[in-house]
Amino acid sequence: MISFSETGTHRLVYKAEAFGTGLTVTAYIWNPSLVKSGLQTFTEVADGLYYLDYNFATTGAYIGLFMEGGTKKTASAIRVETPILEQVGVTVGGTWTTAKLLQVMAAWMMGKWQDKSGVAGTYEVLDPDDETTVVVEVVPQASTPQKTVTILI
């Protein structure tokens, strides 16, 4: 199975049978709703290797049917995942500099965790340097045991 860690345009690579060159390599791709794409044509790189840059617009399981000269050769499942930060409920915004990333990591590991005043079950994670700046807020989700993590700096 082919797997991508986020939506967007990704490169599919195809090895022709017996590393054949000069072939017309094509594919149909079904999205997670099982809607079939138009015929996609690969570009030859060299030595029987071909590629296609395809836009995977949504997360989920795609299906690819790959052909050489119109003859069906193979099929593959293609999985497009939700980005890792989104999977754990982290809300990100703005620019991520190295300093910001380190500040968030330091707060998470060494910062003071406190209940948010007046909000049951919600925690604030404070910057370990000043112990007053709220760097991260952790909020329980109503329908699951997971939590939403929001970066506030």
DSSP code per residue over 90-133: EE--S---HHHHHHHHHHHHHSPEEEPTT-TT-EEEE-TTTS-S
Q: How far apart are CA 117 and CA 95, in angstroms?
A: 28
Residue with tokens 């790189």: 45
Q: Which of 105, 147, 112 is nearest to 133 (CA)?
A: 112
Shared domain check, 110 and 69:
no
Indicate if 69 and 90 belong to the same structural domain. no
- CA dist 112 and 110 (Å) reads 7
pTM of the model: 0.61
Among 53, 80, 107, which residue terminates a domain?
80
**Residues 20 and 71 occupy one common structural domain:** yes
Distance CA 31, CA 45 (A): 26
H/E stretch holding 86 reads helix 84-87
Provide the pLDDT for residue 151: 82
Is 112 in the same domain as 134?
yes
| One-letter amino acid for residue 82 of the chain | T
- Predicted confidence at residue 10, as pLDDT, reads 96
Residue 73: the pLDDT is 98
Domain, as residue range, for 39: 2-80
Q: Does 96 share its domain with 120?
A: yes
pLDDT band, residue 106 (cuts 50/70/90)? confident
- Let me know whether 104 and 63 are in one domain: no
Asked whether residue 8 falls in the same domain as residue 72, the answer is yes
Domain count, the chain: 2
Residue 86 has pLDDT above 70, yes or no: no
For 65, other C-beta atoms within 10 Å of its C-beta total 16
| pLDDT tens-place string over residues 23-64 | 999 999 999 999 999 999 999 999 999 999 999 999 999 999
Highest-confidence range of 56-65, 99-108, 117-126, by mean pLDDT?
A: 56-65
Mean pLDDT of the chain: 88
Residues 58, 101, single domain; the answer is no
Task: Express each pLDDT in 70-80 by its tens digit.
Answer: 999 999 999 99
Q: Given 37, 65, 80, which residue is the final one in a domain?
A: 80
What's the token pair of residue 148? 């939403």
Residues 20 and 68 in one domain: yes
Q: Residue 121: its pLDDT value, please? A: 84
Question: Do residue 64 and residue 94 come from a single domain?
Answer: no
Q: Are 3 and 81 in contact (CB under 8 A)?
A: yes
> The domain spanning residue 18 has which CATH number?
2.60.40.10
pLDDT value of position 138: 87
